[in-house]
Amino acid sequence: MAKVKCAIIGSGNIGTDLMIKIMRTAKTLEMGAMVGIDPNSDGLARAARLGVPVTHEGIEGLLKLPGYRDIQVVFDATSAQAHLRNNALLQQDGKKVIDLTPAAIGPFTIPVINGDANINEPNVNMVTCGGQATIPMVYAVRRATTRVLYGEIVASIASRSAGPGTRANIDEFTETTSKAIEVLGGAERGKAIIILNPAEPPLIMRDTVFTLSQGGDKDAIVASVLAMVASVQAYVPGYRLKQEVQFEVIGDNAPVRIPGIGLATGLKTTILLEVEGAAHYLPAYAGNLDIMTSAALVTADHWAASGLAKEAA
Catalytic residue among 65, 98, 129, 209: 129
129 flagged as catalytic: yes
Phi-psi region of 262 (alpha: psi -120 to 50; beta: other; left: phi over 0): left
| CB neighbour class for 188 (10 Å; exposed up to 12, middle 13-18, buried from 19) | middle
CA atoms of 5 and 22, how far apart (whole Å): 10
Alpha helices (H) along the chain: 13-25, 42-49, 58-64, 80-92, 111-114, 129-143, 164-168, 170-183, 218-233, 287-305, 308-312
CA atoms of 163 and 165, how far apart (whole Å): 6
Yes or no: say if 124 and 297 are a contact pair by the CB < 8 Å rule: no
CA atoms of 251 and 254, how far apart (whole Å): 6
In the DSSP assignment, the letter for residue 8 is E
The 8 Å CB, 24+ separation contacts for 240-244 are 240/273, 240/274, 240/275, 240/276, 241/271, 241/272, 241/273, 241/274, 242/206, 242/272, 242/273, 242/274, 243/272
Could you tell me what percentage of the chain is helix, strand and coil, using 3-state DSSP and rounding each to the nearest 5? 40, 25, 35
Indicate the pairing of strand 4-9 with strand 29-35. parallel
**Beta bridge pairs of residue 34:** 8, 54
Three-class secondary structure of residue 172 per DSSP: helix
Name the residue among 160, 307, 309, 141 with its Cα closest to residue 228.
141
CA atoms of 150 and 283, how far apart (whole Å): 34
Catalytic amino acids? 129
